[in-house]
Amino acid sequence: MVEVLEAVPPDDLVKSELERLKQAGYMIALDDFTIDDPRATLADLADILKIDMQATTAEDRATLVSRYGPWRCRMLVEKVETREHFTLTKAAGFIYFQGYFLCKPEVMHAKEIPANRLNYMRLLQAVSKPDLEVRELESLMKSEASVCYRLLQYMNSAAIGVRNEVHSIRHAITLLGERESGAG
């Protein structure tokens, strides 16, 4: 969706660019649309007209809905802050709504990623590279003791069947690389 702000002039350049975007599959929205909006010439390209509840009168909104209504553009009213605003604008013919009445913004508190999870993400990045860098992988694995222990335990299990016990991370990575390539 491309939203055209009220400050954008409705000149030929803007119109031709919106036509190109529309052909490319974008929806076009005209923000803060008003009764005597200079962008009225762009309304034929618009999928959505956004009307500001606070900046328009009930009469203006009714006129806009009758002029550009659902057969021509989808009508969206923004700054709907009370149940009364919602009821009035819905009755006036608006089908899309934005505002605090519908949902108040919430402050989100993000937790820091624990160091070990960050190491796991780095490990995933390292093993996802097309050309595996053994030294980088070894370094990342050595910073995570539980991964080292599990890798060595796995490499020395009967399921793998290596002839000599594996004692180093580099040796384990090398053996896994050989098994993956079919050389081992």
The 10s digit of each residue's pLDDT in 30-50 is: 999 999 999 999 988 999 999
Cβ partners under 8 Å of residue 26, min gap 6: 1, 2
Cβ partners under 8 Å of residue 94, min gap 6: 51, 61, 65, 75, 76, 77
Architecture, CATH, for domain 2-97: Alpha-Beta Barrel (3.20)
Digitized pLDDT (tens) for each residue of the chain, 184 residues in all: 888 998 888 889 999 889 988 888 889 999 999 999 999 999 889 999 999 998 999 999 999 998 887 778 889 999 999 999 999 999 988 989 999 888 877 777 766 656 677 778 888 888 888 877 888 888 888 888 888 888 888 888 877 777 888 888 888 888 877 555 554 4
How many angstroms separate the Cα of 41 from the Cα of each of 14, 34, 116, 120?
11, 13, 57, 55
Specify whether the backbone of 19 is left (phi greater than 0), alpha (psi in -120 to 50) or beta. alpha
* pTM of full prediction above 0.85: no
For the chain, the domains span 2-97, 115-181
